Structure 1
Amino acid sequence: MNAWIKTLSAVTLTATGLGLFAGSALAQGTASLADKQAQRVDNRQERQSDRITQGVASGQLTVREQARLEQRQRHINRLEHRTEADGKVTAKEAVRMEHAQDRASHQIRRQKHDRQQRGG
Structure 2
Amino acid sequence: MLTLKTLAAALALVGAAGAFAQAAPASSMPRVDQRQANQERRIDQGVTSGALTKRETARLEKEQAHVEKAETRAQSDGTVTKKERRHLHRMQDRASADIYRQKHDRQRAASAPGK
After TM superposition, the runs of 4+ consecutive aligned structure 1 residues lying more than 2 A away are 34-37
SS at match of 2:106: coil
Q: Which residue of 1 aligns with 2:16?
A: none
> 1:47-86 alignment to 2 at 5 Å?
47-86=38-77
Distance 1:49 1:56 in 2: 11
TM-score normalised by structure 1 residue count: 0.69
Q: Which residue of 1 aligns with 2:18?
A: none
Distance 1:68 1:96 in 2: 20
> 1:98-117 alignment to 2 at 5 Å?
98-117=89-108
* 1:115 shift after superposition: 1.4
Percent identical pairs in the alignment equals 51
Q: Based on CA coordinates, which of the two structures has the bigger radius of gyration?
A: 1
Distance 1:73 1:36 in 2: 20
TM-score normalised by structure 2 residue count: 0.72
* 1:36 shift after superposition: 5.5
The RMSD of aligned alpha carbons is: 1.5
> 1:1-120 alignment to 2 at 5 Å?
38-120=29-111
